[in-house]
Structure 1
Amino acid sequence: MENKDAYIEQLLSEIEGLKNRLYEADSIINAIKEGAVDALVLHDEGVPQIYTLESADYTYRILIEKFSEGALSITPDGLILYCNDYFSQLANIPSERITGSYLKSYFDDHGVFTDLIEDALKGTTKREVLLNVKGRRFPVNISFTSLAPTVDAIGVVITDLTEKKQHEEALLKNQQQLELKINELNATNTSLEQFIHVISHDLKEPLRKILMYTARLDTSGYTAENNPVGVIRSSAVRLNSLVDDLVKYAFSSVKDDMADIDLNKVLNEVKDDLEIIITENNATITLLDLPVITGTKVQMRQVFSNLIANAIKYSKKEVAPQITIGYDIATEADKFYYRVYVQDNGIGMDKAHLNKIFTIFQRLHLRNEYSGNGIGLAICKKIMENHTGRIEVASIPGSGSTFSLFFPINNL
């Protein structure tokens, strides 16, 4: 009997609770119907969900407080009615001291504030301005939006531009420094070119006279070995060649306008230029089909002229030079290159010397063994760098060398 009474008592309590919840729900619905409470009704799988705008307004206020920009509301004459924490921190003034003050007092130029208010009363206006808080000036982007006729007030959003301006100033400063360095570099290059021209002219002119007048000297009574005039003449010839090579090396750094270059045509022109030494040495040059690359024609002629001349110069005694020039496609780190190779059957080089040959004035043989100043391959290296490529060599002593030129392929 006691259990039955307790159970009835529990049921009555639950019924009372349900009545209270039903009364509250009924009161909310009636209030919504009468317009006393704004609400939003959403249906989720047939189940109605009621959201009052009172809770939405609370969410909105939290959002404004956590906003990463300054937010204020002001009267039409600029009295601050509200400011969020961000603007309080930006101004470094407690929010309770900001509220009740006039926004105009924070403007570096009060006239700008007046213009913004006038524009805001017509709708929305935005401008970059300078704020002045206790003598501390900082740039902001400020937006005014009239809240009329709902509220006789103006909403204000402020974005601090200090960091952005600092980045812009740093970028501008770096750009100015870069332009200054470029101008200095251009001036240096111009001076260097003028210097090279002067040196090549001023050195070659007396050299020509030395060669001319030594040819007139009486060398009778001297043998070929002890002829001082012969020594002077050969030294002058070598110096003249060195000046020419130095000028070529200096100008190999100059980047002319790039264009599509058919290497087949370039190689045929180089063969014509070297016709005499090719014929004299009974050399055979086999040209396979070559690609069209992006580059400068003059420098390409320099590269292949040097490589072919070297292949003939360093050929084996009593063995006719045989030179084959072709290409294939090479890939490295997802980049594609035309690998143009120049292969010969010459004397070859020891592996230990392969890294030295592209250094200016580097020679692997005595001057009386092979002529030259050790500049040709250094010129080739600089020209390939101009073409954002590179030159490599593989060689076996007694079995010849293969020079590989790598040209980037931009459309693959």
Structure 2
Amino acid sequence: MTFNLEDKDLHISHLEQEIETLRSQLDDANNIIDAIRDGSVDALVVQKEGKAEIYSIESADYTYRILIEKFGEGALSISDDGLILYCNDYFSQLIGIPASKITGSYFTEYVNSHRDYVRLKNSLNDGPVKGEFTLKGNDRNIPVYISLTDLHPTVPAIGVVVTDLSEKKGHELALVKHQHELEDKIHELNASNTSLEQFIHVISHDLKEPLRKILMYTARLNGSEENEDAVYHNIIKSSALRLNSLVDDLVKYAFIANKDEELKISLDEVLKEVIDDLEITIQEKAAIIESDSLPVIKGSKVQMRQLFSNLIINAIKYSRENGIPVIKIKYAHDIVTEGKIKYHKVSITDNGIGMEKAHISKIFTIFQRLHMRNEYSGNGIGLAICKKIMENHNGHITVESIIGSGSTFNLYFPVNDIN
């Protein structure tokens, strides 16, 4: 075969083009090899008959690969169009599909809402993005938190971190369930309290009405009985009066559990009103009451009046025989701190008979009496009411006492913003 000069030149030109193409392919191959060596590439995507095949490179950045495999969350790298180039074992176990089958599939196959995923991915232009999604596992829906990070231009891929929210969602559902159960219990308790209040009203009315008649008719018998009958009459009258007092105290104790609307209250005004109410009792005993300027608190004025009234009556009742009751009400202007809570401290000190140390723990218990009924009147409810009132106001009451020298009741009111 012979070639003319023109054919020879054309053949040389073709050979040069083929050489240039081979040189370009060689450069590409060298670049890929260099990328594999420096860890920039950990997988190759090869298109065969229109289908992408992924070839992982086990040696690429081995330390990084071990870290991701041990990662306590799902980790993937995907191409711009969502093709999964790599996933760790955690994600494979979460979905319930072998990693070999996940690699080469599209991430959107595992997302319940394709539209939400596209919206999230499109936000990558503004930086890493995060959002809650539901993934489709092998046999269940999985609530997850997804974080997408654009790895360009270092790596032509998108990094995906998947956090399983199943346990968190389970706790949230359990919390909601418990909250509903608690609300149901509160409704039941409110209904029970309403029924109890109605019951107390009925009992107090049904008991007090016959008592009122007993007292009214025994009063008409005064002076009309012979000596023995007079004794019986006095016993009946005394018992009826005591029962009447007991019913009143029980009603007070039952209703003091209700918290009124909290208002701004001047304890100075409360004390003045109580002293006015007890004017006759104070005069009969020639009692002396001294008081510092008291703080303003938030609470129920009705309950505050009952609190101070009970404590002052208590101090007068248990005064020393033939002695003048002296009651000193002091306010520690320095705020008292207990733990993280700050309190106003108001102390009510008397010079009465006092009490033994062993009895101090008993006095706030309902119906607890330290003396015989013929020594001191009362039903053993007054101090229990005081304790309940302080609890209603998120405070507390304590007592210090020396037998024969008197007692000090300390009232601790939480410091609130008074607007």
TM over 0.5: yes
How far does the alpha carbon of each residue in 1:122-179 deviate from its partner, in whole angstroms, 9 at most, with x for none?
5658764433333233222456789999999776553322122112112212221221
Which one of the candidate residues 259, 262, 268 is aligned to 1:264? 268
Q: Would the alpha carbon gap of residues 289 and 133 (structure 1) be closer, same or farther in structure 2, given more than 3 Å must change?
A: closer
Alignment of 1:388 with 2:402, yes or no, is no
| Offset of residue 204 of structure 1 | 1.2
Which residue does the alignment assign to 1:359?
365
Q: Would the alpha carbon gap of residues 122 and 216 (structure 1) be closer, same or farther in structure 2, given more than 3 Å must change?
A: closer
Return the alpha-carbon distance in structure 1 between the equivalents of residues 402 and 122 of structure 2. Answer: 86
Return the alpha-carbon distance in structure 2 between the equivalents of residues 204 and 315 of structure 1. Answer: 31
| Offset of residue 243 of structure 1 | 0.5
| Offset of residue 185 of structure 1 | 1.9
Q: Would the alpha carbon gap of residues 74 and 334 (structure 1) be closer, same or farther in structure 2, given more than 3 Å must change?
A: closer
| Offset of residue 100 of structure 1 | 3.3
Which one of the candidate residues 295, 317, 320 is aligned to 1:291? 295
Return the alpha-carbon distance in structure 2 between the equivalents of residues 95 and 207 of structure 1. Answer: 87
Which residue type is aligned with residue 360 of structure 1? I
Question: After the TM superposition, which residues 362-377 of structure 1 pair with which residues of structure 2 at under 5 Å, given as runs?
Answer: 362-377=368-383
Find the residue that maps to 1:193 and give its secondary structure: helix
| Offset of residue 342 of structure 1 | 1.2
Which residue does the alignment assign to 1:17?
none
Question: After the TM superposition, which residues 66-145 of structure 1 pair with which residues of structure 2 at under 5 Å, given as runs?
Answer: 68-73=73-78, 76=81, 80-103=84-107, 105-107=109-111, 109=112, 112-113=113-114, 115=115, 119=119, 124=124, 128-142=132-146
The answer for unaligned runs of 5 or more in structure 1 is: 1-35, 39-50
Alignment of 1:211 with 2:215, yes or no, is yes
Q: Would the alpha carbon gap of residues 351 and 104 (structure 1) be closer, same or farther in structure 2, given more than 3 Å must change?
A: closer
Q: Bigger shift: 125-134 or 397-406?
A: 125-134
Which residue type is aligned with residue 338 of structure 1? H
Which residue does the alignment assign to 2:45?
none
Percent identical: 60
Return the alpha-carbon distance in structure 1 between the equivalents of residues 171 and 404 of structure 2. Answer: 62
Question: After the TM superposition, which residues 398-409 of structure 1 pair with which residues of structure 2 at under 5 Å, given as runs?
Answer: 398-409=404-415
Find the residue that maps to 2:233 and give its secondary structure: helix
Q: Would the alpha carbon gap of residues 56 and 101 (structure 1) be closer, same or farther in structure 2, given more than 3 Å must change?
A: closer
Which residue does the alignment assign to 2:226?
222
Find the residue that maps to 1:227 and give its secondary structure: helix
Q: Bigger shift: 143-152 or 323-332?
A: 143-152
**Conserved 8 A contact 2:76-2:85:** no
Return the alpha-carbon distance in structure 2 between the equivalents of residues 55 and 146 of structure 1. Answer: 17
**Conserved 8 A contact 1:127-1:141:** yes
| Offset of residue 229 of structure 1 | 2.9
Alignment of 1:300 with 2:304, yes or no, is yes
Q: Would the alpha carbon gap of residues 165 and 224 (structure 1) be closer, same or farther in structure 2, given more than 3 Å must change?
A: same
Find the residue that maps to 2:215 and give its secondary structure: helix
Q: Would the alpha carbon gap of residues 55 and 391 (structure 1) be closer, same or farther in structure 2, given more than 3 Å must change?
A: same
Alignment of 1:345 with 2:351, yes or no, is yes
**Conserved 8 A contact 2:40-2:154:** no
How far does the alpha carbon of each residue in 1:10-43 deviate from its partner, in whole angstroms, 9 at most, with x for none?
xxxxxxxxxxxxxxxxxxxxxxxxxx879xxxxx
Q: Would the alpha carbon gap of residues 100 and 252 (structure 1) be closer, same or farther in structure 2, given more than 3 Å must change?
A: same
Alignment of 1:255 with 2:259, yes or no, is yes
Q: Would the alpha carbon gap of residues 232 and 66 (structure 1) be closer, same or farther in structure 2, given more than 3 Å must change?
A: same
How far does the alpha carbon of each residue in 1:235-262 deviate from its partner, in whole angstroms, 9 at most, with x for none?
1111111010001111222222223322
Question: After the TM superposition, which residues 5-16 of structure 1 pair with which residues of structure 2 at under 5 Å, given as runs?
Answer: none
Which residue does the alignment assign to 1:313?
317
**Conserved 8 A contact 1:116-1:144:** no
**Conserved 8 A contact 1:120-1:145:** no
Alignment of 1:195 with 2:199, yes or no, is yes
| Offset of residue 219 of structure 1 | 6.3
Return the alpha-carbon distance in structure 2 between the equivalents of residues 353 and 160 of structure 1. Answer: 59
State the number of aligned residues: 359
**Conserved 8 A contact 1:123-1:146:** no
Return the alpha-carbon distance in structure 2 between the equivalents of residues 297 and 254 of structure 1. Answer: 13
Which one of the candidate residues 228, 232, 235 is aligned to 2:236? 232
**TM-score, scaled to structure 2:** 0.74
Which residue does the alignment assign to 2:50?
none
Which residue does the alignment assign to 1:179?
183
Return the alpha-carbon distance in structure 2 between the equivalents of residues 387 and 140 of structure 1. Answer: 45
Which residue type is aligned with residue 275 of structure 1? E
Find the residue that maps to 2:239 and give its secondary structure: helix
